[in-house]
Amino acid sequence: MAELGIGIVGGGYMGKAHAVAFAAVGAVFETTLRPRLEMVAASSPHSAERYRASFGFRRAAPDWQTLVADPEVQAVVIATPQETHRAIAEAAFALGKPVLCEKPLADTLSDARAMVAAAGAAGVANMIGFNYIRTPASQFARHLLAEGAIGDVTFYRGEHTEDFLSDPAAPHDWRCSGAANGNMGDLAPHPINAALALMGPIARVCADIETVHATRPGGNVTNDDHAQIMCRFESGVMGHIYSSRIATGRKMGYAYEIFGTRGAIRFDQEDQNALWLYEAAGPAATRGFRKILIGPEHPDYAAFCQGAGHGTGYQDQIIIEARDFLTAIETGAPVWPTFADGLAVAQVVEAAMKSAGDKRWIAVETA
């Protein structure tokens, strides 16, 4: 087994999740590469030292530049705001260091394109952190679709719905300013990524984007609350994607429903250890959606638990992500989703924003 020094830029919510994941992944998946929490950087040296002591890093860095340049840091994880992603990634790639970057790839389409170009020029492992699609249930759904279990797909509906800003009296905070912090910057990339993973490329979109609560105690809201996107996949299948931060009652409504000529699939992240499958076979009187309880027979589940129904959780998705990143580094082969897949999401977001402004169908750029 070989050690790999990990440097994480950012120690907040996702920084902690990645630190825990890299500390655990070697034992969970018995990986050949064994990560070592080498260094953490944050918004200040004081914060970095606090995260070092809390998460078990060997050292704290005074800034991200020091972390990236350190020879003991052999791979970099970016868990900072979107507008910082490009500079950090480009610096790491210039030194030939693999990068795992939190979603979305960047705050602008031009920066996302530049990051993909830098990754390609460096020729090293690069991944973007879309974790929800990695649940054993959603991995199994991808397998079912690939083997034609529900026949020819006729319609796709996906969503990511939460309610953390559903109360109009909730005070104005950082989430209420800047496009990157709005629904389209924060939540929409997840259901778009799911649609691309399950259904393939999106050819064109027609979107409607809305700020429902334009003012909140303490200030005006300058970004969107929710959006709906009609889409047509390159396969010809029709689809619909909805994302919202004001969906009252929904806490993690990352969900999808897929209809086919011989069946259907349903999934809801709030019940992430179950997949619902309908098969149009057998007597009509006994047909119905069947709840498949996720267990050791499904992708990546057995590494965490030997008993069906015991379940995996949010942190386990990040551990699976860490395993995938280590695999990409070890093998030298791309492991989905790469920076290019992050760019594909950004291109759909850009097309949706333009569609909402122009009030017409817009083709999704692929260059």
The pLDDT confidence band at residue 306, using thresholds 50, 70 and 90, is very high
Q: What is the pLDDT of residues 92-119, one digit of tens each?
A: 999 999 999 999 999 999 999 999 999 9
- Res. 1: pLDDT tops 90: no
For the segment 121-133, the average pLDDT, to the nearest whole number, is 97
Q: What are phi and psi of 27, to 5 degrees?
A: -75, -40
The CA distance from 97 to 341, in Å, is 19
Q: What are phi and psi of 115, to 5 degrees?
A: -70, -40
- Res. 86: pLDDT tops 90: yes
The predicted pLDDT at position 111 comes to 96
The predicted pLDDT at position 6 comes to 98
Percent of the chain at pLDDT > 70 equals 100
Q: What is the pLDDT of residues 243-279, one digit of tens each?
A: 999 999 999 999 999 999 999 999 999 999 999 999 9
Bridge partners, 292 (sequence order)? 275
Pairing of strands 126-129, 226-233: unpaired
Residue 38 structure tokens: 């080498």
Cα angle value 262/264/269 (rounded, 5°)? 160
Phi-psi region of 303 (alpha: psi -120 to 50; beta: other; left: phi over 0): alpha
For the segment 146-158, the average pLDDT, to the nearest whole number, is 98
Q: What domains are defined for the chain?
A: 2-132 (3.40.50.720), 136-308+344-358 (3.30.360.10)
Pairing of strands 33-41, 99-102: unpaired
Cβ(135)–Cβ(312) below 8 Å: yes
For the segment 325-340, the average pLDDT, to the nearest whole number, is 97
Q: What is the pLDDT of residues 29-53, one digit of tens each?
A: 999 999 999 999 999 999 999 999 9
The predicted pLDDT at position 253 comes to 97
- Res. 367: pLDDT tops 80: no
Q: What is the pLDDT of residues 192-215, one digit of tens each?
A: 999 999 999 999 999 999 999 999
The CA distance from 223 to 244, in Å, is 12
For the segment 231-239, the average pLDDT, to the nearest whole number, is 98
Q: Taking all residues of the chain, what is their mean pLDDT, rounded to a whole number?
A: 97
The CA distance from 67 to 48, in Å, is 11
Whole-Å CA distances, 175 to 132, 294, 338: 21, 35, 27
Cβ(335)–Cβ(327) below 8 Å: yes
Q: Name the percent of the chain in helix, strand, coil, to the closest 5.
A: 40, 25, 35
Residue 120 structure tokens: 């390609």
The CA distance from 44 to 40, in Å, is 11
Cβ burial, residue 281 (10 Å; 0-12/13-18/19+) = exposed
The predicted pLDDT at position 366 comes to 85
The predicted pLDDT at position 44 comes to 97
The CA distance from 184 to 321, in Å, is 23
The CA distance from 50 to 362, in Å, is 47
